[in-house]
């Protein structure tokens, strides 16, 4: 792995761990910090951000989906996560 890709993997891992520890707002901030450190956010880190936002409710997940969609990095996992979050909230 190249240094840049390893850094992205580590940031994604930390974001996942903080979201799993019910620190989803901190996980969202980590992606902003990642960008500030000039690390490239990939679809994995953006999907982690979307999953973290889902902890804040379906509105939060949809807001993040819109942000991610404008970057062109939404993949099947991202769309599925957003659909699942809305479905669980009864927001079809």
Q: Please give the full DSSP string across 21-70, using - where no structure is assigned.
A: TT-HHHHHHHHHHHHHTTPPP-HHHHHHHHHHHHTT-HHHHHHHHHHHHH
**pLDDT tens profile 23-53:** 888 888 887 888 788 877 778 888 888 888 8
What's the pLDDT at 14?
Answer: 87
Q: Print the domain residue range for 42.
A: 3-88
Angle at 57 between CA 38 and CA 31, to 5 degrees: 5
In the chain, the number of structural domains is 1
Cα–Cα distances in Å, from 37 out to 21, 33, 43, 55, 56? 24, 6, 17, 25, 25
Which pLDDT score is estimated for 42? 78
Over 70: is that where the pLDDT of 4 sits?
no
Whole-number pLDDT of residue 1: 41
| pTM given for the model | 0.70
Average pLDDT over residues 75-83: 85
């Amino acid at each position: 792995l190249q240094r840049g890709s390893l850094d992205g993997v580590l940031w994604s891992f930390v974001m996942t761990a903080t979201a799993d520890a019910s620190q989803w707002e901190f996980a969202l901030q980590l992606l902003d910090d990642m960008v500030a450190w000039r690390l490239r956010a990939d679809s994995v880190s953006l999907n982690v951000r979307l999953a973290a936002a889902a902890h804040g409710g379906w509105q939060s997940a949809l807001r993040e989906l819109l942000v991610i969609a404008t970057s062109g990095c939404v993949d099947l996992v991202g769309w599925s996560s957003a659909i699942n979050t809305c479905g669980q909230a009864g927001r079809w």
